[in-house]
Amino acid sequence: SHIMSEYVRMTDTERDQIDQDAQVFMRTCADAIHQLRTEAHRGVQSAQVKEHRTAVLDFIEDYLKRVCKLYSEQRAIRVKRVIDKKRL
Q: What is the pLDDT of residue 59?
A: 97
Q: What's the predicted TM-score (pTM) here?
A: 0.76
pLDDT score of 72 more than 60: yes
**Contact at 8 Å (CB) between 62 and 34?**
no
Tens of pLDDT along 29-63?
999 999 999 988 887 788 999 999 999 999 999 99
Distance CA 50, CA 56 (A): 10
Name the burial class of residue 76, with classes exposed (0-12), middle (13-18) and buried (19+) by CB atoms within 10 angstroms of its CB.
exposed
Share of the chain above pLDDT 70, in %: 91
